[in-house]
Amino acid sequence: MSTYCFTEEQTEKLGEIFGKTVRCGAVVAMCGDLGAGKTAFCRGVARGLGYTGRVTSPTYSLVNEYEGETPMFHFDLYRLSGADELYDLGLEEYLDRGGVCMMEWSERVEGEIPFTHRVTIKTVDETTREITIEVI
């Protein structure tokens, strides 16, 4: 499925819809350039999973946890050199907890992580994003 969003709020709303439909155990590859809207989409997913607090990028912490009706684990893989570092962070424990794993910069571990979905956000222009959601 591919759609266009013209505001950050629309990107969040699409994420919220996705969050209401995604199942526990999902591991979502988030692809897109810096500033494309990956974190905005994740804010919406967290809301769709029942989390009502603030959602921020895990750039420096590498992973943020959000406890809603279904937990969401929001990873930023930008600074990782490969999947080994992600497993060292305890990826298997996150997978075993039955929540939804959202992984920004998933390209860094492509082929090494059992992704169930891919969300690709392409910047069309300053305000327009093309967002594609795939089950893989």
Q: Domain holding 59: CATH number?
A: 3.40.50.300
Task: State the pLDDT at residue 22.
Answer: 95
* Range of the structural domain that residue 24 is part of: 2-135
What does each of the 136 residues of the chain score in pLDDT, given as a tens digit?
Answer: 799 999 999 999 999 999 999 999 999 999 998 889 999 999 999 999 999 999 988 777 788 999 989 999 999 888 877 778 878 878 888 888 889 999 998 888 888 888 999 999 999 999 999 999 999 9
Task: State the pLDDT at residue 25.
Answer: 92
Task: Read off the amino acid at residue 124.
Answer: V
- Both tokens of 65, joined, read 């946890």
Question: DSSP string covering 84-99, please?
Answer: HHHHHTTHHHHHHTTS
Count of domains observed in the chain = 1
Task: Go through the chain and tell me how many residues it has.
Answer: 136
